[in-house]
Chains A and B, each alone.
Chain A
């Protein structure tokens, strides 16, 4: 390392043929231009929300090129599915995306139910909607806090976790856990909501609405935040469709696409709610869409709690842990907090599914980063990365 310099930490540019850094940084630096610096962002950097590693080529403060490197949190969930019973794979669904466990629960359970032709009782459908929407709010709250933290504001994350604490208490009441929830079963849900569960929700909704007003005053209307977000990180509809982005990113680009409305699953067609759409394409658009979604989710929960009928929370003779999925294949999509979650189950009628494909929205969403960050300041690239709402375990699976 005789010719080591801070501006050229891998030494690749000075001496052609030397192999420094690892495979990714070596190949990435091959195309580096004169006078640029290759920098590793992550995998331990806090603003990459986990263990994402992004290679960036910097010219001064400007990002010339970037390349996300994945795989630091790969746990082979898809392979695990091939060795577990269908029921035994259910707990894995809470671990794929730890912030939106219920969304994944729903996608997998419903995919298997579709294959086996199991009808879910009415009350279970309502409990599914309530838990999924509460989980969406809690996911958006964590994103909101972490995103604003990325931009340099520390306080909001404390408020976000304050509200999330209430949501954890509510969801713990039925799911038994606070983070990696395993609530759905084939043919219903794991536990029925009791009086306290519904009382806590009824108390939570007006309180959250008050807090949303406070969030608006404290953060959304803040001049510094607006200047950091407006007009930065443009991802237009064409780009979103090219990369297969879904969820708030696509809706912030002006495309009205939400699986809950496009392919209504469960009982989502019974509720009155709107899909927030912004056509700003920038970071602020994505911020606005997610904050609006919290309000819309509150509306859905409010209606579901008012309408919930009496009845069973799971079908009679629900599948036991040793249950075999009938042969065939099925795909089921749900709208998760980060976009469209699809689970494709193929079964040959054996003890465990033949193949389970998990379509994680975060994977496609991350693909937009390299193009959107090109030519922006490094600090703005971090804001763009944050606005994608990345959860690395979900991307790596």
Chain B
């Protein structure tokens, strides 16, 4: 009889402790990022691996740095890269990347001698068919250059430079100086 009452009391105590903890967190700020209304802090995405993109050229930023050496295509475990050398010097004429086969391991990015490839941070990529996942990266580079012709600041502040370029007022002034 006494043990039964004691058990009830212990159970009630457990319940109250649980309620206190849950109650405290009920009023704590939320961690969930409610996507369409909010987006992830770009700083957190600095190392995020999205689909590949071609980096801009050193001298002529509208051109790719790719020298069609095929190192990435050979090193890729999923065979998702197809590079065809064009007629104009070493520049590629086709650079097709199948994102549906890519496992984002980074072998291509690490092996590239010209650092022509990098991971984009496109977190919110949505497609409606598989064919759309086969991307023509040369066309993608052209589009990006057309949208933002000025070269982002080199190397370390690259991410910051890109962010500044997206911001309308302050970014424009900064890019103007470059």
Contact = CB atoms under 8 A, between A and B. Distances in A.
Interface in B1-29: 7, 10-11, 14, 17-18, 21-22, 25
A224 interface: yes
A185 B75 CA distance: 14
Contact of A182 (B18, B74, B105): B105
Given A176-B48, A196-B43, A91 B14 contact: no
A77 interface: no
Interface in B96-111: 103-107, 110-111
Given A91-B77, A224-B14, A165 B31 contact: yes
Contacts of B47: 172-176, 191
A221 B22 CA distance: 15
A90 B14 contact: no
Given A91-B77, A165-B31, A172 B44 contact: yes
Nearest to B102: A91
B75 A322 contact: yes
Interface in B119-168: 119
A176 B43 contact: no
Contacts of A217: 17-18, 21
A321 interface: yes
A35 B10 CA distance: 40
A88 B77 contact: yes
Nearest to B44: A169
B63 interface: no
Given A87-B107, A176-B104, A321 B18 contact: no
Contacts, number: 78
Interface residues of B, number: 28
B49 A177 contact: yes
Given A320-B75, A322-B75, A222 B105 contact: no
Contact of A90 (B17, B44, B74, B105): B105
A296 B107 CA distance: 34
Interface of B: 7, 10-11, 14, 17-18, 21-22, 25, 31, 43-44, 46-49, 74-77, 103-107, 110-111, 119
Interface of A: 84-85, 87-92, 155, 159, 162, 165, 169, 172-177, 180, 182, 185, 190-191, 196, 214, 217-218, 221-224, 320-322
Given A84-B77, A182-B103, A217-B17, 13 more contacts: A85-B77, A91-B103, A91-B104, A91-B107, A92-B77, A174-B47, A218-B17, A221-B14, A221-B17, A224-B14, A321-B75, A321-B77, A322-B74
